[in-house]
Amino acid sequence: FKLARLTNSYFKASFLAERAQARAYDELLRAAKKIKADLYIGHNLGALAVAVKAAMYHNAKAGFDFEDYHRGEFHLKDKNVRRVVWLENKYLPALSYYSTSSPLIAEAIKNDHKKFAGKTITLLNCFPLTHQPPFQQKTGKSNTLTLFWFSQTIGSNRGLETVIEALKMLNDPGIRLILAGRCNNSMSAYLEKNKPALASPVQLVGMIQPEKLPAYAAQFDVGIATELNEPQNRNFCLTNKLFTYLLAGNAILASDTAAQTQFINEMRNVGFIYERQNAESLAQKIKWFRDNRAMLMQQRTNAYAWAQKQFTWEKESQKLIQVCRSLLS
C-alpha cells in the first residue's frame, strides 16, 4: 500500500491507483467476488473499484455512497487529488446509482460528473428514532449553561480554539464546556495553557460509545458544530454532530460553513450560525443563550421535534430501499 501510494504520486494517476487508494484492495476484491449478489455497494473510495469489478464479475449492478466529497478532502495542489479524480472518472460511469451525505456534496459531484446516467439520492447521517432519549426538561431558574462538543479526537484546527477564546471573553463561571473524545497532546497543552484564563475549567469526559451519545448529549443545553471550511469537503459536509444534537434536544451553535448555514436556515428556531474563527461572534450567541433561557428551551424543544418528524433513519432509509427496488425489479 505504501509503495503503491508513493509510486502513484510520481507516475501517472492511473498507476496502481486502486492499490494506492485501498490498503487491502486485492484481498477485498477477492472476498467480494466470492459473494454472489445482485447489487454491490462501496462505502469509501477504496471500495469503489471493488464494487464495480465485483458487479462486473457477477453480471450484477454496483452503487456507491459518497460519505464525503473525496476530491475535496485535500487541498487542490495535493498529489492525492489526481488519483481520486482518476478513480472517480474511471469507475463512476459503471454505477447504477450513487448516494451522497449532504445536498452540497450532491451538487459538487453532479457538477463533476455531468454525464452520469444513473440514479442519485442524498442520504443524511440520521439515526434511528429508537435512539432518541426522553426530552430533558430544565427549569428556567438554572444559572448554568452547558455547551457540548464531541469527536473521536479532541484536537487542533477543528474550531475549538474559537470556542475557548469566546469563553475567555465571557468570563462567566456559569458557562461550562464539556468535550467528549480522545484529547491529543497538542490540544491538551493548549487547554492547560488557557486554563487560568477560563472562569470555568473545560470538562473532558473521554470517549462515549456512539449508541450512547444521544442520551449523553441530552443532559446539556447547547451542541456546538465547529466545522471549518477548508478543505472543501468540510465546507460541504453535514456531520453526525448536527443530527446527534437534534436527536438529543440540544439547541445548536454551528459555524458558518456553506452546508451548515443552509441546514440551520432551513429549520426554524433550533439555534444559531456563528462566524467561524470569530470568537466575538460566537461569544454573542452564547451570551444570548445565557440571557434568554425561555427561548433556549423553545429552541431545544424545536430541535427535538425536528429529529422526530424529519431527520430519522427510518425516513432516510426509504430512499435507499426505493432505489434498490427500482434497480432490482
Residues 284, 160 share a domain: yes
Residues 136, 122 share a domain: no
Tell me what pLDDT residue 55 has: 99
**Rounded distance, CA 83 to CA 5, Å?**
10
Residues 100, 172 share a domain: no
Domains in the chain, number: 2
Residues 222, 261 share a domain: yes
Q: Report the CATH number at residue 223.
A: 3.40.50.2000
- At position 293, the amino acid (one-letter code) is R
The radius of gyration of the chain's CA atoms, rounded to the nearest angstrom, is: 22
Residues 223, 234 share a domain: yes
Residues 282, 159 share a domain: yes
**Rounded distance, CA 157 to CA 228, Å?**
8
Tell me what pLDDT residue 7 has: 61
Among all chains, which residue has been given the C-alpha cell 477477492?
Answer: 30
Residues 232, 91 share a domain: no
Residues 118, 159 share a domain: no
Mean pLDDT by 10 residues, the chain (329 residues): 58 76 94 98 97 98 98 91 96 99 98 98 96 86 90 96 99 98 98 98 97 97 97 97 98 99 95 97 98 97 97 97 97
Residues 188, 302 share a domain: yes
Range of the domain at 177: 129-309
